[in-house]
């Protein structure tokens, strides 16, 4: 879990830094950072699937995450709520990042 947490720092941090730097310096790197957030979302979904299978679908935190992911894709396909669709992905990324961090710390404290 510690390795997944470190990968999460990288996959989440690089696009965030690129978006922040691009916004601050009015650079095209902003758009590259936005595109890299797709990789962040894919990473979180793949890790979430692994955690869901590992827990045999009983981990409430991961089930809540997937319910929100399903809500996001449903709203994306069926509605024009662009404000919610811009807010939900960063909230989901933060939720999964916090979950991975706390789970890695709990496993580290048991060792």
**Cβ distance 36 to 15 under 8 Å?**
yes
Q: Which pLDDT score, from 0 to 100, does residue 7 have?
A: 96
CB count, 10 Å around CB of 20?
13
pLDDT tens digits, one per residue of 11-24: 999 999 999 999 99
**Cβ distance 96 to 47 under 8 Å?**
yes
**Any idea where the domains of the chain sit in the sequence?**
2-110
CA distance 78 to 93: 22
pTM of the shown model: 0.89
CB count, 10 Å around CB of 5?
19
pLDDT tens digits, one per residue of 52-107: 999 999 999 999 999 999 999 998 888 888 888 889 999 999 999 999 999 999 98
């Amino acid at each position: 879990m510690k390795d997944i947490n470190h990968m999460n720092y990288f996959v989440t941090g690089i696009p965030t830094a690129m978006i922040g730097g691009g916004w601050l310096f009015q650079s095209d790197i902003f758009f590259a950072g936005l595109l890299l957030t797709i990789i962040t979302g894919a990473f979180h979904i793949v890790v979430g699937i692994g955690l869901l299978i590992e827990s045999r679908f009983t981990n409430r935190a991961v089930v809540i995450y997937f319910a929100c992911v399903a809500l996001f894709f449903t709203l994306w396909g069926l509605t024009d709520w662009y404000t919610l669709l811009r807010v939900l992905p960063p909230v989901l990324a933060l939720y999964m990042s916090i979950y991975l961090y706390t789970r890695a710390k709990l496993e580290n404290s048991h060792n």
